[in-house]
């Protein structure tokens, strides 16, 4: 099954020192998609797929059409 367009949830803002969750989900597709988050062209996590990273004092902006953090 071809992948569908993912639905990404990225807060529009966050307070310094708080935890922010970035997520993307899709309803169809095989094999499941893997996601990699970037800031200024640098991967935020070393591994694609599910995972978590706690990085303090970072500002994220997402391109709503591509889902890419800029």
Domains of the chain: 1-58 (2.60.40.10)
Q: Please report which confidence band the pLDDT of residue 46 belongs to, taking 50, 70 and 90 as the band edges.
A: low
Higher-pLDDT residue of 70, 29: 29
Q: pTM of this prediction?
A: 0.42
- Burial class from Cβ neighbours inside 10 Å (0-12, 13-18, 19+) for residue 39 reads middle
For residue 67, pLDDT over 70 is answered with no
Percent of the chain with pLDDT over 90: 0
Determine how many CB atoms are found less than 10 A away from the CB of residue 37. 20
Q: What is the mean pLDDT of residues 51-59?
A: 46
Determine how many CB atoms are found less than 10 A away from the CB of residue 70. 11
The pLDDT assigned to 1 comes to 72
């Amino acid at each position: 099954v071809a992948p569908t367009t993912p639905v990404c949830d990225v807060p529009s803002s966050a307070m310094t020192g708080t935890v922010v969750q970035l997520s993307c989900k899709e309803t169809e597709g095989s094999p499941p998609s893997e996601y990699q988050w970037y800031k200024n062209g640098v991967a935020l996590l070393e591994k694609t797929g599910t995972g978590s990273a706690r990085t303090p004092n970072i500002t994220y902006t997402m391109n709503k059409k591509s889902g890419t953090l800029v």
